[in-house]
């Protein structure tokens, strides 16, 4: 059998499926509906909260009306979930910790927002909120169904409805 580059690429993707962090980063777990590892879940949930809080602080300072109200709610809600996650980890035998910074992709999105004003800022903030909430809903949904840690799995299930509501609001703003 002759191996094409497509077959080789498929084999490399399949081989990397055993490395949870790699498959989570590339989106393969999401496409397959596979739960992230506990470590990946913690890192991504915490980084998502960091981005939500920091980008929403910019929106509070630069926008008005509906967007400002939404941003204030994002700051409050994601500060709450960050605190809950940190508290769970303090009281847990898990050997995981909150990352000190958001992902490089999230930092790049935040840096882009910092350089925008007016309608450009508003459009990008709305687009970013829809995208990051879609990712968060997917992450929390997958972990709540098949996560490894019972306490985090329960928390993910409890937090998921609020994230779904955030996604709906973000999508409405992005229209």
Length of the chain, in residues: 175
Single out the residue of 34, 77, 25 nearest to residue 56, CA to CA. Answer: 77
Single out the residue of 126, 128, 148 nearest to residue 136, CA to CA. Answer: 128
Asked if residues 47 and 106 have their Cβ atoms less than 8 Å apart, the reply is yes
CA atoms within 13 A on the CB side of 124: 18
User: 116 — phi, psi (to 5°)?
Assistant: -110, 155
How does pLDDT run across 120-133, given as a tens digit for each residue?
Answer: 999 999 999 999 99
How does pLDDT run across 20-52, given as a tens digit for each residue?
Answer: 355 555 566 566 667 889 999 999 999 999 999
pLDDT over 80 (residue 91): no
- Cα 135 versus chain centre, distance: 5
How does pLDDT run across 57-86, given as a tens digit for each residue?
Answer: 999 999 989 999 999 999 999 999 999 999
How does pLDDT run across 101-111, given as a tens digit for each residue?
Answer: 999 999 999 99
**What pLDDT does 90 receive?**
87
- With cut-offs at 50, 70 and 90, classify the pLDDT of residue 164: very high
For the domain 39-93+101-173, what is the CATH code? 1.20.1260.10
Domain ranges of the chain: 39-93+101-173
| CA atoms of 16 and 22, how far apart (whole Å) | 7
């Amino acid at each position: 059998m002759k191996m094409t580059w497509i077959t080789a690429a498929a084999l490399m993707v399949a081989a990397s499926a055993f490395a949870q962090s790699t498959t989570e980063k590339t989106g393969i777990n999401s496409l397959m509906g596979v739960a992230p590892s506990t470590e990946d879940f913690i890192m991504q949930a915490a980084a998502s909260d960091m981005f939500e809080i920091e980008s929403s602080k910019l929106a509070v300072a630069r926008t008005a009306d509906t967007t400002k109200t939404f941003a204030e709610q994002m700051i409050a809600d994601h500060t709450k979930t960050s605190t809950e996650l940190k508290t769970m980890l303090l009281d847990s035998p898990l050997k995981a910790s909150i990352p000190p910074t958001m992902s490089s992709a999230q930092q790049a999105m935040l840096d882009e927002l910092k350089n925008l004003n007016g309608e450009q800022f508003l459009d990008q903030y709305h687009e970013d909120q829809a995208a990051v909430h879609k990712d968060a809903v997917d992450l929390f949904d997958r972990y709540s169904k098949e996560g490894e840690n019972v306490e985090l799995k329960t928390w993910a299930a409890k937090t998921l409805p609020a994230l779904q509501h955030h996604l709906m609001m973000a999508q409405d703003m992005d229209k």
